[in-house]
Amino acid sequence: MTGRQRYSDYIVYVDEAGDHGPATPEFPVFVLAFCLLQKLEYADVARPIGLTVVRPGQPNRAFDLLSAKLRRSPAGVLTAWAIQRLP
């Protein structure tokens, strides 16, 4: 490309799990997972949710606006299955 370099409108997250060696009873499978997000989607949705999980005491106006659109239980509690912190 000439002139200014153009960057992609997407972010790719790649993660793996399992044993890199031969299959064992403890880790019989190797898994490679990809997540493709538009940068605007990441900024508007994924990051505010992630910050709420990582820093629960920090004010997060973006999450406050977004939380009205997230699924809740019949009691009105934000469901935990969609927002989890994994090790």
- Number of structural domains (the chain) is 1
Domain that holds residue 47: 1-87
Binned at pLDDT 50, 70 and 90, residue 59 comes out as very high
Return the residue matching tokens 């106006």.
61
pTM of the model: 0.49
Return the residue matching tokens 């912190």.
85
Q: List, for residues 30-51, the tens digit of each pLDDT value.
A: 778 898 888 888 888 888 888 8
Tokens of 48: 């505010």
